[in-house]
Amino acid sequence: MAGTDRFDVDALIEDRGVGVVVCCGSGGVGKTTTAAALGLRAAEAGRRVVVLTIDPARRLAQSLGLTELDNTPRPVRGLDTSAGGSLDAMMLDMKRTFDEVVEAHATPEKAAQIFANPFYQAVSSSFAGTQEYMAMEKLGQLRAEAERTGAWDLIVVDTPPSRSALDFLDAPKRLGSFLDGRFIRLLTAPARAGGRAYLRVFAFGIQLASNTMGRLLGGQMLADVQTFVAALDTMFGGFRERADVTYALLKEATTAFVVVAAPERDAVREAAFFVDRLAQEGMPLAGLVVNRLQPLPAASLTAPRALAAAEQLHELGAETPVSAAGVGPAPAHLDIANAPASSLSLTVELLRLHADTAAVRARQQAQVSRFAAAHPGIPIIEVPAAAGDIHDLDGLRAIGSAFAGGSNG
């Protein structure tokens, strides 16, 4: 990827003008680990950090040495605070965050009525888009608390594990539109209509609509929806307003998006879609992190040369056959004339393994190179795959070191 800028992660997290870092990408590409490693490295560089994860697998809690994470930021122990930094972590509780919104904008009596409503219980727990909307809501809350108390100067957000990275940007608007939309308002139009004459004219049409929706949704569900909407009526404008405020925050210069991808076709393509969308929305992109790149210690030994050497060794008497034909002459520096048979056999296996590894690495590099060619000027950093699962602070520090020492291909 000649000419591609290297993504300087340390410069990003040390920039005091950046107050929010959003790690985004499709599911399964290492967003949670990236967010945790960024947060830890920033804290040990002197930032006061809170990491918000939306990962229900709770891997962040384990890697940060916490027994659990919930909707309240908890301090992480065991980090180097010599630079004056701190690290808190929390995991989004979707329903609890929705409850907090209701409690903040309704009387205790009205809030209790909403909480008891079966439709609210469904919307707040599992409605499509609620998790992404509440991630935005919690980000807004954390930003407001940071400005009010000074508890943090950097918020790192691990976006929801959606199938599509775009869900994080699209779902809050979809949910806000649903809760503030014409369909929902139609359900309670009679209750809000002014004057009996208007109601007499309007009643027949509303009754037909209610009967139809009652057959489609079920009478009890329709009643629950109508009760829910009536109880939440004073909050409708607030949903869209808060979504718009947080959406505007994502466009500010104090926010930086870090797109995370694995070096596979679908993940890189999803990253490309997201990068294009950020550009369309005018949202600040810091760079691309390509996780889990296949390590290749002897990068100068290509797959064809390794296979050629393995074939020549096999012809000298190695017991292990080579599945692929060699290409080109064996490397001149290999001393094969006096090697014992067992050593030759082991070397054949190692050369063949290296050839397979080099082929995987070449495919991964090709995916990243295609992204770079289509998106010139976007900084990229490649992070090698870890030898095992990340389960403690040292593992996160190793990822942070890879950020600092990683390549751009």
Strands, E, within 36-153: which ranges? 48-53, 74-75, 86-91
pLDDT, one tens digit per residue, over 22-40 is: 999 888 898 889 999 999 9
**Given this model, what pLDDT does residue 127 score?**
64
CA neighbor of 42 nearest in space, from 72, 81, 90: 81
The dihedrals phi and psi of 214, each to the nearest 5 degrees, come to -65, -40
**Given this model, what pLDDT does residue 238 score?**
66
- Tell me if 342 sits within 8 A of 280, measured CB to CB: no
Q: For the chain, which domains are there?
A: 9-172+249-294+385-405 (3.40.50.300), 303-363 (no CATH)
User: Alpha-carbon distance 384 to 28, whole Å?
Assistant: 16
Report which DSSP code applies to 283: P
**Given this model, what pLDDT does residue 297 score?**
81
User: Alpha-carbon distance 113 to 120, whole Å?
Assistant: 10
Whether 336 shows a pLDDT value over 60: the answer reads no
**Given this model, what pLDDT does residue 305 score?**
85
pLDDT, one tens digit per residue, over 257-295 is: 999 999 999 999 999 999 999 999 899 999 999 999 998
pLDDT, one tens digit per residue, over 99-155 is: 988 888 788 888 888 888 887 887 777 766 677 778 888 898 999 999 999 999 999
On whether the pTM is more than 0.85, the answer is: no
**Given this model, what pLDDT does residue 152 score?**
98
**Given this model, what pLDDT does residue 92 score?**
87
Per the prediction, the chain carries an average pLDDT of 78
